[in-house]
Every structure is written in C-alpha cells, then in structure tokens.
Amino acid sequence: MDLINIANIKVSPNIYKLINEKIIPGTNVTKEKFWNEFSSIIEDLSKKNETLLKERDEIQETIDNWHLDNKNRSFDIVEYKKFLEEINYLIKKCPDFKINTKNIDKEISMIAGPQLVVPVDNARFAINAANARWWSLYDSLYGTDAIPEEYGATKTTAYNIHRGSKVVSFSNIFLDNIFSLENSSYSSVSSFQIDKTDNKYNLIAILTDNTKTQLTDPSKFVGYTKKADGELTSILLKNNGLHIEIQLNREDSIGKLHSAGIKDILIESAITAIQDFEDSVSAVDEEDKISAYTNWTDLMKGTITSTFTKDGSELVRTLNPDKIFISQENENDTYIISGRSLILARNVGIHMYTDIILTKENEKTPEGFLDIMVTALASMHDLNGNSKYSNSPNKSIYIVKPKMHGPKEVAATVELFSRVEKALNLNNNTIKIGIMDEERRTSVNLQQCIYEAKDRIIFINTGFLDRTGDEIHTSMKAGAFLPKSEIKNQPWIQAYEDQNVDIAIKSGFIGKAQIGKGMWAMPDEMKEMLNNKIGHPKSGASTAWVPSPTAAALHALHYHYVNVKDIQDQLLNREPSDILNLLTPPLMSEKLLEESQIQKELENNAQSILGYVSRWIGQGIGCSKVLDIDNVALMEDRATLRISSQHIANWILHDITNKEDVISIFKRMAKIVDIQNKDDVNYTKMSDNYEKSIEFQAALELVFNGVDTPNGYTEDILHSYRRKSKNP
C-alpha cells in the first residue's frame, strides 16, 4: 500500500480519505492546516513520548533490582518507601489546590449516576449506550434475576402476569421510598391528576377509595405530558438530581393491569457513557480504526445508525431525541431533558504505536496522537452546532486517558491536548481530561497528577483489574502474589479506593468533576449487583461503571437511595489513607498453598485468558461476556487479561508452578472453552491442534512473556496475533 506523503509524515490513504472527506468538512479547519499541524505535533512531541516510556522501563528495572538485592531479607515497607522516594517514584507533595475546570456539563459536574462503557467500534452498542440515558425499569426487572423466578414468576416467552406483578410490586416499593405519598402507597392509586392552586401545579393521587393525597415532598414533581383532552400520559419526578418518568396508558397490555394505568417507569440511567477506543476494542489496523473513527464521527454528528434483524424484521436503530414535558411551574413552559447520555471518548494509552501514520523515516507514531486529533476534530461538529443532537451544550470535548504513569505523563498529555486545541483553532482547555487511576505510579502520586491537569480535569476513577495487573508487574520480583480472590481483600485495595475519593474531594471535585468507581463485571447477576453496588455511591463516588443499559437502570436506583453530595460532605475531613498500606504488595507469606489451591487458581486464570483471547484473536471481539470455569458470564476486556496473565507469570517466576504444568493446564482449559463456544459458528476450536492454533499460542505467549512485557500490557502480543489471524 502506497502511503501519502504530506508535510513530514506518511499517511495511510484510507485514513487520509476518511479525515479529509468525512470528518473535516463542517469543522472550519482546512485540510492543509490539519495535516501540517498534526505533522508538527508528531515531530515535536514524539521524542518526549519515547522518553516517558523509557523512564518507565528504567524505573521498573531499578525496582526489580531492589527486590532482588533484598530477597533474603524480610520485606521492610519503611525502607521500601524510602527507596521509592530516592528514585523519584514517589514524588514530593504539591501545594494544596482546587481544580479550575470551566464549562463542564451538568451530567459530569452535578449529577451522580451510572456510567456506561462500550466499544466504539460496534455501532449498535454505541447507539445503545447513548440511548441508555433513559431505560425501562419494568424491562430491567422482568428480564433479569433481580426478580426471583419462584412461585410461578418464571421468565417465559409470553408475558407472565405473576412475574409482572412482582415487577410492579418492586417498583411500587421504590416509588414509596423515594417519591412517597402522604399516608398512602402507589399500590393504592387509581389515577393521577394535576391540580392548580394559587398558580402552582401539584400532582394529586386519587386512591382506590376515592380519597386524594399528594407527594410528601411536592417539589419532586417537575413535569408531565397529556393528551389533547387533558388525560395524563406521563409524570416526571426528580430526586437527587435524577429523573424518573411514570408512563400512563390504561389501554396498554401492562398498563391495564395497574389500578392507576402505569404501563412502565423509565429511569434516567446512564448519565454519561464512555465510547471506548481502548481496552474493550480490537483495533489493530487501518480498517479497524476507520470503523471506530466513523462511529465516533457519526455520534458527534448525531447521524449514527445501526441496522439489524430481530424476529425476522429489519430494524434501524438511531439516537433518541430529547424528552419534552410540560413544566410543573407553568403549563405554557416546557421542561426539556436530553434523551441521550453525555458522551466521552477513551483514547489509547501512550504506550500504543501505529503504522497508520509514519514519520518520514518510516517509524511508527504514537497512536494516542492520532486518536486525540481525530476524536477532537470529529467533536467539532458538536461544538459548531452541526449535529442533529447536542452532546455538550457547554461546548466541551471529553477525553478519558488511560494508563498514565505519574504526573510527568499527565503533564505530557495536557501539553498534547493544548497543541491539538491550537491545531484545531479551539479555545484553551476545550478538551477536558479524565484520568484513569489504574496504574500504581499514578495512585501513589494522585494529587500531583490531578494538579498537572487542574485546569481541564473532569474525572478520575479507580479500576481494580488494571491496578492489580500493574501492582503485580511492578512488584514482580518481590515474591509470589496471593491468589486473585485474596489480593482484593488486602489493605492496599481499600487504601486505594478511599484515597481516590479523599484526594478528589480535597482537590475540589464536589460540584465540578466525577469521582468514579470500577465496572460491575457480571452482567447477568443483577440481583447481586443491586445488593452490592450501592457501596459505590456510599463511598462518595459520583459515578460507577456498568456493562449494559439494563445494569445502568438498576444501578441508578442506588443514586436515589444515596445522596452522594451528602456523603462527600461527610468525607471532607476524613483521615487520609496510610501510604504504607498503598505501597505494600499483596504477597504470600511463608505459608504454602495446597496443591489443589494452586491448580484451581491456575485453571481459573487459564480459562479466563483462553475464553477472552480466543475471541479477540479469532473474531476481533475486544469486549464480551466470557463464561468462567463455573459457566458464570463475566464481562471481560484487556484489563482482566492483564491481571490473569501477570498472575500466572508471577507464579512461574517464583516456582509456585512451572511452564510444563501451565501448558498442560492450558490444554485442558482449551477443551472447556471450545465446548463453551460450540454454538458460535464464527469460533475456531483450539484443541484440534494446539501448535497451529493462533489463539492458543497467543494465550501462552501472554503468560510466558509476562515478566518481560513492559508494564505487563497485553496489546503488542494481541495485535501481532490478530494481524496474523486477519492476514494468514
């Protein structure tokens, strides 16, 4: 393929065409300026990127050597901390400060609620995520294990009235708790009406005994819709900044079963959605990146569509329009709420390089440079009002940046964003940054990292899996790590989670920026999620990740029960976490594991790796539900792969197991994974020929090269094997 020479770079022709013909028109940026500025950015900043990556390697080597030099001594956390300070792994504290980010949309600054994360290369998923701002509570309860299937309440093809009654009962209890009626329950309501008294419009509930009542807190009623004859069709309520819409229709098959004609309750669910270019996608070449960039551009233009077949009919999915209600304050005024989640993009990390853009010396360039140039350029359609629907009314671009190691890398990313703003004629700090607190050197220097981005930061969050993967790799030579289930019960993880909230609050995030928590990884276990994920808002986090619109709707209930702002105010003066807990690696003690424990841990890890890698390499699926060894579906991406491969690599290094046993276990687990995927017509079996199975060999290389792979990242190996799979 002949590359196009422009300025001092060489560009793949199809990406050149996409940018010039689809993305640039309407942005007020000329083709010449875009490519010349991009070339300058690559020329000016690539060396700094290389230097930062080299510094990572040098620091890791220094830490490895310290552990080797002290391997015959008991681990001394005080000495270890002193050593990390001497090598500038631990950086001196910065002065106290408050973030100064401007023009943040309320979905990020003011509203606490779920955050959905989806691969941007799948148009249907991307649209679903954007439309998950509003989701059916009835459907989310009826179709999941949130409602038990006992006593005749089974999920059947035809509507099961017994199950439906349990859904209604659950919903009535929620309404009674959050939008309570004076001396009554929603189960006793026969109808609703709007009453005008003293120029105020109030919601009145007429009960089955013909008495009337109203909301305990009338201010929670904010809007409604009605037919021309005045019959109410919906009621809009608001609590803790979140809305719900009670939909009314006595003619509906569900509505006629409710005394008040309630046919559904729509929950304001995924307040924000991250369209992911990173861990949940398999984008290894120009073709893949074009697919991702096209979807992002169409999201920013509001024109994205997805065509699919359901029950024999072809359907076209598009973005939802805004929701318009009659205002409670005045029947001549409207109350408008976005019909879509506020969209953010997660670009790739600084360690990723691409051959889509080459230097004049034919060297690969940082893929993150390309990501930010293209995502920001495409976002200008939203900023310039070219979009069918507005994403950011406050004219900001939201970019989440993953896998940064410490303040220097944050500062370099801020410099990159500033250069991109200049290249695209954007105002300073238009491009906002979300910092993933998922690497150890960022965690232990979190306040300094935030300080470097204080004028554009809108988000930090914890990510247990990547953070654990980096924990293992950083301390790889220190000793054997505990089994994965025990790692998350060690003091370091609570210190990590608490510190993230404490530092964000201290840095002025309340009312300005998101404090986030990690993903619920079991998309089919909604009952368990309802029982446990309420811990995230209770921790002071204003958002937490969910894997589906259904999970977003159910998790949104937690933010009605918990007022996050009140929690954050209570945490303002909490005693900070002990840095020594954060620095203590979760190593095994002298107590040896039983052989059965070792086997079980290795089998779980191997099965997880193979279940994910087989689809990543063979089908280009970057995120999906993968059955674990017990056939429980887990939402997996590269973060889960990183921890599993690093864990086995660590156990091989410290003689808990050996290469031969690992290969044997992988072969046994490959047979299980093959059986689990037997109904997938696009799946390629691994156990037919292990030596020739490209998926199986990739999985082994991830483990056996895990010690020497920079930071334990999986991308280089995955990309190499996926390219072989696409071009045998």
Q: What is the pLDDT of residue 551?
A: 98
Q: What is the pLDDT of residue 309?
A: 82
Q: What is the pLDDT of residue 670?
A: 98
Ordered strands of the 221-226 beta sheet: 134-136, 262-268, 242-248, 232-239, 221-226, 323-327, 334-337
Q: What is the pLDDT of residue 115?
A: 98
Query: What length does the chain have?
Result: 728
Mean pLDDT within 239-243: 98
Judge contact between 318 and 307, C-beta under 8 A: no
Average pLDDT, the chain: 96
Residue 197 has pLDDT above 80, yes or no: no
Alpha-carbon distance of 450 to 110, in angstroms, equals: 19
| CATH number for the domain formed by residue range(s) 136-268 | 2.170.170.11
Q: What is the pLDDT of residue 627?
A: 82
Residue 226 has pLDDT above 90, yes or no: yes
Q: Per 3-state DSSP, what percentage of the chain is helix, strand, and coil (rounded to 5)?
A: 45, 20, 35
Judge contact between 614 and 683, C-beta under 8 A: yes
pLDDT in tens, 170-183: 999 999 999 999 99
Mean pLDDT within 707-720: 97
Q: What is the pLDDT of residue 313?
A: 85
Active-site residue, selected from the candidate residues 346, 419, 441, 467: 346
Mean pLDDT within 535-540: 98
Q: What is the pLDDT of residue 633?
A: 84
Residue 590 has pLDDT above 80, yes or no: no
Mean pLDDT within 473-487: 96
Listing DSSP states for 561-613 in one string gives HS-HHHHHHHTTTPPPPPHHHHH---B--SPPPPHHHHHHHHHHHHHHHHHHH
pLDDT in tens, 397-416: 999 999 999 999 999 999 99
> Could you report how far apart the first and last alpha carbons of the chain are, in Å?
17
Mean pLDDT within 466-490: 96
Regarding predicted confidence, which is higher, 334 or 728? 334
pLDDT confidence band for 625 (50 / 70 / 90): confident
pLDDT in tens, 440-462: 999 999 999 999 999 999 999 99
Mean pLDDT within 270-278: 98
Token output for 420 = 């991109």
Judge contact between 458 and 513, C-beta under 8 A: yes
Q: Which of 57-66, 194-203, 333-342 shows the lowest mean pLDDT across its residues?
A: 194-203
pLDDT in tens, 541-580: 999 999 999 999 999 999 999 999 999 999 998 998 899 9
Residue 199 has pLDDT above 80, yes or no: no
Query: In 10 A of CB 723, how many CB atoms?
Result: 13
Mean pLDDT within 491-517: 97
Q: Is 288 a catalytic residue?
A: no
Residue 588 has pLDDT above 80, yes or no: yes
Q: What is the pLDDT of residue 438?
A: 96
pLDDT in tens, 340-394: 999 999 999 999 999 999 999 999 999 999 999 999 999 999 999 999 999 999 9
Regarding predicted confidence, which is higher, 256 or 311? 256
Mean pLDDT within 697-720: 98
Domain extent listing, the chain: 78-132+277-307+343-583, 136-268, 595-726
Q: What is the pLDDT of residue 15?
A: 98
Query: In 10 A of CB 333, how many CB atoms?
Result: 12
Q: Which of 20-29, 184-193, 197-206 shows the lowest mean pLDDT across its residues?
A: 197-206
Closest to 112 (Cα-Cα) out of 537, 572, 432: 537
Alpha-carbon distance of 153 to 170, in angstroms, equals: 13
pLDDT in tens, 644-673: 999 999 999 999 999 999 999 999 999 999
Mean pLDDT within 253-263: 93
Q: What is the pLDDT of residue 32?
A: 97
| CATH number for the domain formed by residue range(s) 595-726 | 1.20.1220.12
Q: Which of 156-160, 243-247, 282-286, 605-609 shows the lowest mean pLDDT across its residues?
A: 156-160
Closest to 46 (Cα-Cα) out of 348, 377, 449, 370: 370
Token output for 7 = 């300025």
pLDDT in tens, 310-343: 878 888 999 999 999 999 988 889 999 999 999 9
Q: What is the pLDDT of residue 60?
A: 98
Q: What is the pLDDT of residue 257?
A: 87
CATH superfamily membership of 78-132+277-307+343-583: Malate synthase, domain 3 (3.20.20.360)
Q: What is the DSSP letter of 260?
A: T
pLDDT in tens, 143-156: 999 999 999 999 98
Q: Is 637 a catalytic residue?
A: yes
Q: What is the pLDDT of residue 350?
A: 98
What b/e string do you get for 449-477 counting C-beta neighbours within 10 Å, with b at 16 or more?
bbbbbbebbbbbbbbbbbbbbbbbbbbbb
pLDDT confidence band for 704 (50 / 70 / 90): very high
Mean pLDDT within 606-621: 96
Active-site residue, selected from the candidate residues 264, 276, 382, 637: 637
Closest to 635 (Cα-Cα) out of 554, 526, 726: 526
Q: What is the pLDDT of residue 156?
A: 87
Listing DSSP states for 463-479 in one string gives -HHHHHHHHHHHTGGG-
Percent of the chain beyond pLDDT 90? 92
Give the global pTM: 0.97
